[in-house]
Amino acid sequence: MLAMADYAKLNFGGLLPSGNESSHGVDMPKSMSVLLGADYGKLLVNRENPQFDHCFYSEEEIFLDAAKSPPWSNGQSVLFATCRTGPWYADVLLTDEFRKKLRESSPLMRQKVPHFEGALKEGGKITVAMHVRRGDLETGSWRAVPDETNYRIIDRIKSAFDNVDFHVYSSTEGKHTESEFDGYRNRGVSVHLDGEVDEDWAHMAQARDSGVEFFGLVFRVLGFGHQFRDFGVDCA
Examine residue 119 and state whether it is found in any structural domain, yes or no. Answer: yes
Examine residue 68 and state whether it is found in any structural domain, yes or no. Answer: yes
Q: Are residues 187 and 230 in the same domain?
A: no
β-pairing, 51-52 vs 234-235, is parallel
Q: Are residues 194 and 128 in the same domain?
A: yes
Q: Are residues 122 and 189 in the same domain?
A: yes
Domain that holds residue 206: 112-212
Q: Which of 91, 75, 98, 108 is nearest to 5 (CA)?
A: 98
Burial class of residue 19, CB neighbours in 10 A (0-12, 13-18, 19+): exposed
Q: Are residues 67 and 87 in the same domain?
A: yes
Looking at residue 182, which CATH number applies to its domain? 3.40.50
Q: Are residues 73 and 120 in the same domain?
A: no
pTM more than 0.85: no
* Structural domains in the chain (count): 2
For the ranges 44-53, 144-153, 201-210, the maximum mean pLDDT occurs at: 144-153
Q: What is the mean pLDDT of the chain?
A: 79
Q: What would the mean pLDDT of 57-76 be, rounded to a whole number?
A: 87
Q: Are residues 74 and 117 in the same domain?
A: no
What pLDDT score was predicted for residue 187? 93
Q: Are residues 66 and 129 in the same domain?
A: no
Examine residue 106 and state whether it is found in any structural domain, yes or no. Answer: no
Angle at 68 (CA atoms; ends 70, 83), nearest 5 degrees: 85
pLDDT at 179 over 60: yes
Examine residue 65 and state whether it is found in any structural domain, yes or no. Answer: yes
For the ranges 45-54, 72-81, 184-193, the maximum mean pLDDT occurs at: 184-193
What are the residues whose beta carbons fall under 8 Å from the beta carbon of 129, sequence distance 6 or more?
Answer: 167, 168, 169, 203, 204, 207, 210, 211, 214
What are the pLDDT digits (tens) for 18-31?
766 766 677 778 88
Examine residue 131 and state whether it is found in any structural domain, yes or no. Answer: yes
